[in-house]
Structure 1
Amino acid sequence: MRVCAAAPFEMSSAAEAAEASAEANDVRWRPHDLLRLQCLRPFDDEPAWVRDAFARAPYAVVRRALGANGFVAIGVRGAGRAQRYGTWAHADDIVNVVSPESLQQAQPADARRALPSFIALAALQRDACAALTTFVWGPTGSAGFELATQTPSVTEASDLDLLIRTPEPLARNAARALFEHLQTLAQRIGIRVDAQLETLAGGVALAEWAAGKTRVLARHASGPHLVADPWAVAVQDGGA
């Protein structure tokens, strides 16, 4: 069984579309955005759980992959961690876009507030002096999905995943301070907080950049790349 549907287009056309999109600065949907869809078109070898998952919550997350004109690479979430399916949405089927930063101050249902991920998020939301206050950021992963869809997705064991937009270079010492702040919070609550920086070269783990590594892994639509400076290297196809 596939974990990702075959692309419904030639990959050469996808590269051309990515180049054209970059030139037009098309930011209607970006990695980690959640898309509300009016329908999810089926593909061959689709896992059996996908239809039920989409019926519960007609949303999918934008994933990092090159797409041709009129298509968006998406991921569908099922009930468990093993249920993740990469597929494609038609742009005409997108009803609404929910960005991580639009969920920065979102609240879960009262009965769900005691879950560790939401406790950690609440601590970040109410701390006016926190290191995150100077950034555009928001929750992704299970917390972001639940806040956007009101579909229970977070468990006692869930991590808190964060996206931090960093269009400008982030100094290593600032990255270390931010990482240490998040780690202190995570240790106090007893969960894992996983933060990703959105850079010119793609998504970079805050932990890697804060660690002072010579090169870090940048996750990009064209694939992962090792880069020395995520703000000095913009991958040529423009699909960050």
Structure 2
Amino acid sequence: MVMNPHDLLKIKKTTKLLSSPEIPEWVPESLQDVPYVVVRRAPMSEGMIPIGVRGKKRNQRFGAYIAEENIVHLISPVTILQKYAWREKISNSPMPAIKALGHVHEIFKPYNLLWGPAGSVGFEMVSKCQTVTKSSDLDVVVYADEVLLIEVVENIVNKLNQLSVMVDVQIETPNGSVSLREYDREEGPILMKTIDGAKLVHNPWEPEFVKAPYW
């Protein structure tokens, strides 16, 4: 099974977490109510998959590992737009971050971008658990195997800045992830998140940074 950071996993309620720190009490309680976790950007550990658990409170986030056999279903951000009736969701939700999905769709549409919601918006759409608040940002992942033209990026950022909600866009390249807004600045090296840690790069698509998939 191919997994990438930001993918959501529905897991068995009997799943055992592997973690060095002691597992907080809220973690098993949360997973019993909402058995969904997110794939973290981290190396595999003895064949175990790095995942993150969300709690009911904003500060309740916990990283651990699980065995692949515990996965019931995988949902990527792109799949959310394809199968999770997001148009109906934005029509019925009072939350600005969810409603902003429609605007982002129209902004991205001319460029045929492969993208989807992540963060609290993506999690709520999949899990049906209310995690988005009125102050939530909209986290978005754009998948780009090839270089995005800076003219396209500038146009997108300008239109996103006109929205009433902060839209945090991460560009997933074959080498790692960079912020769309930081890439737009064109001021020296930018921070790229990789499974081996953060790196400063001038071009996130440079072949020298290409690494083999980690599963």
Structure 1 match to 2:42? 65
**In structure 1, C-alpha distance between the alignment counterparts of 2:211 and 2:172, rounded to whole Å:** 16
1:166-223 deviation digits (Å, cap 9, x = unpaired): 11011222111111121212xxxx3211000001220100010011122111101110
Structure 2 match to 1:226? 200
Q: Is the 8 A contact 1:56 1:151 kept in 2?
A: no
Look up the equivalent residue of 2:165 and give its one-letter code: I
Look up the equivalent residue of 1:153 and give its one-letter code: T
Aligned Cα root-mean-square deviation (Å): 2.1
Tell me, what secondary structure is at the counterpart of 2:4? coil
**In structure 1, C-alpha distance between the alignment counterparts of 2:117 and 2:159, rounded to whole Å:** 16
Identical columns (%)? 32
- Say if 1:112 and 1:75 are closer, same or farther in 2 by CA, change over 3 A: farther
Alignment of 1:60-139 (within 5 A): 60-68=37-45, 70-104=47-81, 106=84, 107=86, 109=89, 113-125=93-105, 127=106, 130-133=107-110, 134-139=112-117
2:6 to 2, 26, 32: 32
Alignment of 1:155-194 (within 5 A): 155-185=133-163, 190-194=164-168
Q: Give TM-score, length-normalised by structure 1.
A: 0.80
**In structure 2, C-alpha distance between the alignment counterparts of 1:66 and 1:101, rounded to whole Å:** 23
Structure 2 match to 1:14? none
Q: How many residue pairs align between the two structures?
A: 207
Look up the equivalent residue of 2:185 and give its one-letter code: A
Q: Is the 8 A contact 2:90 2:102 kept in 1?
A: no
Q: Give TM-score, length-normalised by structure 2.
A: 0.88
Poorly superposed stretches of 4+, deviation over 3 Å: 108-112, 235-240
Structure 2 match to 1:211? 185
Q: Which runs of 5+ in 2 are unaligned?
A: none
**In structure 1, C-alpha distance between the alignment counterparts of 2:160 and 2:78, rounded to whole Å:** 17
**How far 1:124 moved relative to its partner?**
2.9
Q: Is the 8 A contact 1:73 1:88 kept in 2?
A: yes
Look up the equivalent residue of 2:4 and give its one-letter code: R
**In structure 1, C-alpha distance between the alignment counterparts of 2:63 and 2:92, rounded to whole Å:** 28
**In structure 1, C-alpha distance between the alignment counterparts of 2:15 and 2:161, rounded to whole Å:** 38
Structure 2 match to 1:154? 132
Look up the equivalent residue of 2:32 and give its one-letter code: A
Q: Which runs of 5+ in 1 are unaligned?
A: 1-26
The reply on whether 1:195 has 2:172 as its aligned counterpart is no
**In structure 2, C-alpha distance between the alignment counterparts of 1:183 and 1:132, rounded to whole Å:** 17
Tell me, what secondary structure is at the counterpart of 2:126? helix
